[in-house]
Amino acid sequence: MIRLLPPVHWPSVRGRARADAGPLTLAALVVAAVTVLAGSVPVLLTSTADQAVRQAVRAAGGQAEIQVRADWEYDDGAHGGRVRNPRSAESLDDLRDRALDQLGALRDQMSPPIEFAGGPYLKIVNGDEPRSFRLGYVAGTSEPAVTWVSGAAPRASSEHPNAEVAYTGDPWPVQAGISETAAARLGVGPGDRLQTEDAKGNPCDVRVSGVFRPVNRTDLAWQVAPWLLDPQSGADGPGITRFGGLLDAQSLPDARLAFNPDEVSRTVRFRPDAEVLTLDSAQRIAAAVVRLKATSGSSASHEGAAQWSTQLDQVLRDVRERVDAARAQASVLLSAVMLVAVLILLLAAQLLAGRRAAALTVARQRGTSIVALGTELLLESVLLTVAATAVGALIAWAAAGGVAWGWLLPAGVCAVLAGPGFGMVTAHRATRDKRNPANRSARRWAERTAALRRLTAELAVLAAAAIALTVLHQRGASPSAGGTVLLPASAPALGALTGALLLLRLLPVTTGLALRQALRSTMPLAVFGASRAASAARRVLPVLALVASAALATFALTLSSTIGAGLADGAWRSVGADARIDLPDQPATTTTALINRIAAAPGVRHAVAAQVTTATSVIVGGASRQVRLIAVDSAAYRELLAGAARTPLPALPAAAPGGPVPVLVHSPEGTLRAGDSLDLRTEGAPEATLTAVATTDAIGDTDDTVLADAAALTAAGVPVVPNTIWVTGSGAAAAAKAAVGATVVARTDVLRERREAPLVAGLIRLAWASTVTLLALGLLGFALDAAAGAPERWQTLSRLRTLGLRTREARRVAAGELLPLALVAALGGPALGVLLAVLTLGPLGLRLLTAQPGNPVLVLPWVGLVVVVAAFLVMVVAVVRVEAAVRRRNRLSEVLRVGGA
């Protein structure tokens, strides 16, 4: 019978495992720890991505809405006029039902639809302040409940439900309810006619039927038209306050007749149900929405045909980019941990083979074949790896609710094969018949061959690192960019390996120089320490493992600190100061009094009022763009920024009389440039020309931003009504919160919210976990290397003690031997880590997580760097002390009896 496997001598397997329980346990711990991290992170990342999608959809608000719009049915009458359609509300229901049909199965992912019909922009002509008015009809499953404080619900304006109205007649009257707030601000009540006119100056007949109070302000239906409840500042242009009039099923047909057929919208709005969304389902919705948008465009001109529009696909694309960026960054960190884990496992296997050298040699001499030895060692490593992986997977499953196996492969394979590999090589070398060649040229040839082999391996690593870095810079490490993520994501790890190889080349040269210098000195301990260090400097794996671990731990720390600083900067940009007050519509005198009060509050450094209008339309180079327009006292704002140590704001030149208004621009995508001319069109104000005198990074976040001096803008005829107050100083938030009726946004709150966002919090936690793991692995590698070199080290020190070296001097010599490796890890590693961060953080898309207009500025984690440096140096002291304590029990004579050259 043919035996497939060589015979296994089980007592040897058990004996070896018992004798080397310590190193085997350490290897198992490394495998288990890596399994916990690499097994749980991808699973956690998936659930975090789902959370991120839900949060993004919630935060997007109206942007995440899907709008289905359709023209009303033709209302031409038989006598050349327009016919009132009393079933207009049912017509909206019909549009809703058709949209639901088109959504199909995706309707389960949506919140209940909201029907909305809105009138055109109307100007309130009485009063000094610029005010606008719009009519709106909203309904969920039914119209939102209201309580009529005075008057009654709107009624039909005509007793004839199907009345026909001439095109050229007087304005058709329409009844609407207004909210308590609006009624108070406008000073109107039931039965009053609002003084309004349309954009062309034609008067409109809007009558107040009653004043209402919403039963439930949080009713989803109100969210599509919040201005029906409260006047909204800036909604129709800078300085313009919008008021709303509520229609119902009775008055909606009159509103249609009061305006041109295409001026009253007919829409149904869906919002994804954030509670049930996942990244996958969001992608399906986005794809379906894009398809519906594309197919509906061509048929939109047909009567009643639905036209789909939404920015949900953009919202989901943005969140997908953030998820991809987080995945790329997580892959980078996992690659780093995996590389160092593999190196440490190799180091442990090498130590184990060294400890077992004598036993393996004896086994070979007794006739055990290399294959049989390899099989026995393989059995041991497989059992160990399976057990450690199972324990790690169990912990990962408990922590993350699942285990991802892909990342475990490198460490698993290494844990299985390294031990047998080193063991077989050790046994083979100990018993092979090959000897070192006697003649010098043959020895030189052998040395050159070995050097060439090493150089080839080093060049291969260098080439891999260069390719990975190039791919990372060309297309990033985003999964959606196509191709494998592994290669670009491993760029920092491969870079660390390449740097470690370079330091490995330099270390013997450095220790050789140190030895030469020591020999010239009169310090005997320096000579002995340097000589031991020079002996130890040629060990490959310890240098690679320690330098890589220190470098990648520093990289992870730098990633974390850079994200942290980027988030802080992003929060500042978002708020604009330490605190921001979003003012309700109020008289300018009230605002001035409020600023004075806040500026006098304790802990407030600066308080500046501004008018900030998002989505302001400007014409640049013939194209319309939406920008964020800031009108502020530029000198005061410059002082505010200077006081907060932010990027200085360039000075704005005074505007020439009748000339363009000089402005500063900030454009992340570069669409606005210095020298651009911008035409600003505001309802009810003359067109103003702005000229960009400079670009600046001091203002704005992710949107195009235009900053103009408030006085210059006012002089150009553009109304400026402050709606924002920026406050800086330690007491800014407290002082701002004293502003009654305003919305206060504190920078610390925004920062906390962003830090706690699922993707960011998850990534920062992973960066910290990676740092701790990498540093722990590095220190473990140091301890393993020290353990591997301890017998030889203390043998030599014992010899030196026979020459008269004192015990404490022996400890210093031991420290001298260990110090170069510690120093190269403690100094070279962090330097390499920072270099890798400089080279690779850019393409990782950190700005997507920090919400900054550009990639965050690299921030060095000084405290972390000190910890990394100190950890390795402290380890030298600890190892020497422990070794000395262990060796103290052995008499000098016993150590020397062991022998060794």
Q: Which is nearer to other proteins, 76 or 447 (CB)?
A: 447
Q: Per-residue x/- marks for other proteins, 620-659, CB under 8 A?
A: ----------------------------------------
Quote the least distance from Cβ 791 to other proteins, whole Å.
14
> Are 49 and 759 a contacting pair, CB within 8 Å?
yes
Q: Which is nearer to other proteins, 495 or 529 (CB)?
A: 529
> Are 497 and 466 a contacting pair, CB within 8 Å?
no
Other beta carbons within 10 angstroms of residue 715's beta carbon come to 16
Quote the least distance from Cβ 519 to other proteins, whole Å.
6
656 CB burial (10 A radius; 0-12, 13-18, 19+): exposed
Quote the least distance from Cβ 332 to other proteins, whole Å.
40
Give the interface segment with other proteins, choosing from 142-150, 164-172, 517-525, 672-680 (CB under 8 A).
517-525
Rounded to an integer, what distance in angstroms lies between the CA atom of residue 339 and that of residue 778?
A: 12
Quote the least distance from Cβ 807 to other proteins, whole Å.
5
Residue 527 interacts with other proteins (CB under 8 A)?
yes
> Are 81 and 329 a contacting pair, CB within 8 Å?
no
Q: Which is nearer to other proteins, 532 or 754 (CB)?
A: 532
> Are 605 and 643 a contacting pair, CB within 8 Å?
yes
What is the amino acid identity at position 395?
I
Residue 440 interacts with other proteins (CB under 8 A)?
no
Residue selected from 142, 301, 522, 589 as contacting other proteins according to rule CB under 8 A: 522
Give the interface segment with other proteins, choosing from 55-63, 413-421, 530-538, 637-645 (CB under 8 A).
530-538
Distances (CA, A) of 659 to 558, 629, 693, 734: 49, 19, 13, 42
Rounded to an integer, what distance in angstroms lies between the CA atom of residue 613 and that of residue 261?
A: 31
Residue 519 interacts with other proteins (CB under 8 A)?
yes
Give the interface segment with other proteins, choosing from 39-47, 240-248, 521-529, 592-600 (CB under 8 A).
521-529
Angle at 184 between CA 182 and CA 190, to 5 degrees: 80
Q: Which is nearer to other proteins, 534 or 780 (CB)?
A: 534
Q: Which is nearer to other proteins, 415 or 543 (CB)?
A: 543
Give the interface segment with other proteins, choosing from 328-336, 404-412, 518-526, 545-553 (CB under 8 A).
518-526
Quote the least distance from Cβ 897 to other proteins, whole Å.
7
Quote the least distance from Cβ 537 to other proteins, whole Å.
9
- Of residues 212, 215, 217, the one with CA closest to residue 245: 212
| Strand pairing class (203-214; 174-179) | parallel
> Are 687 and 678 a contacting pair, CB within 8 Å?
no
Q: Which is nearer to other proteins, 677 or 802 (CB)?
A: 802
Buried b (16+ CB within 10 A) or exposed e, 236-265: bbbbbbbbbbbbbbbbbbbbbbbbeeeebb
Q: Which is nearer to other proteins, 131 or 801 (CB)?
A: 801
Residue 786 phi/psi, 5-degree rounding, is -65, -40
Quote the least distance from Cβ 532 to other proteins, whole Å.
8
> Are 611 and 233 a contacting pair, CB within 8 Å?
no
> Are 578 and 747 a contacting pair, CB within 8 Å?
yes
Residue selected from 212, 227, 422, 528 as contacting other proteins according to rule CB under 8 A: 528
What is the amino acid identity at position 214?
P
Q: Which is nearer to other proteins, 623 or 803 (CB)?
A: 803
Q: Which is nearer to other proteins, 473 or 811 (CB)?
A: 811
CA 59, distance to chain mean position in Å, is: 15
- Of residues 322, 332, 329, 391, the one with CA closest to residue 39: 391
Q: Which is nearer to other proteins, 527 or 739 (CB)?
A: 527
- DSSP codes, 446-459: HHHHHHHHHHHHHH
**Stretch 836-895 residues interacting with other proteins (CB under 8 A):** 891-893
Q: Which is nearer to other proteins, 14 or 806 (CB)?
A: 806
- Of residues 845, 235, 847, 238, the one with CA closest to residue 573: 847
Quote the least distance from Cβ 900 to other proteins, whole Å.
6
Distances (CA, A) of 461 to 349, 367, 570, 832: 22, 39, 38, 16
Quote the least distance from Cβ 797 to other proteins, whole Å.
11
Quote the least distance from Cβ 439 to other proteins, whole Å.
14
Q: Which is nearer to other proteins, 763 or 805 (CB)?
A: 805
- Of residues 500, 501, 529, 464, the one with CA closest to residue 778: 500
Quote the least distance from Cβ 534 to other proteins, whole Å.
5
Quote the least distance from Cβ 16 to other proteins, whole Å.
26
Q: Which is nearer to other proteins, 141 or 807 (CB)?
A: 807
Q: Which is nearer to other proteins, 494 or 514 (CB)?
A: 514
Instruction: Tell the residue number behind the tokens 């420290």, with chain if given.
Output: 815
Residue 515 interacts with other proteins (CB under 8 A)?
yes
Q: Per-residue x/- marks for other proteins, 531-550, CB under 8 A?
A: x--xx---------------
Q: Which is nearer to other proteins, 717 or 900 (CB)?
A: 900
**Stretch 20-49 residues interacting with other proteins (CB under 8 A):** none
454 CB burial (10 A radius; 0-12, 13-18, 19+): middle
Q: How many residues does the chain have?
A: 901
**Stretch 759-818 residues interacting with other proteins (CB under 8 A):** 796, 799-807
Quote the least distance from Cβ 899 to other proteins, whole Å.
5
Q: How many chain residues bind other proteins (CB under 8 A)?
A: 27
Widest pairwise Cα distance in the chain: 125
Quote the least distance from Cβ 819 to other proteins, whole Å.
16
Rounded to an integer, what distance in angstroms lies between the CA atom of residue 566 and that of residue 755?
A: 11
Quote the least distance from Cβ 567 to other proteins, whole Å.
52
What is the amino acid identity at position 857?
V
Q: List residues near other proteins by CB under 8 A.
A: 515, 519, 522, 524, 527-528, 531, 534-535, 796, 799-807, 891-893, 896-897, 899-901
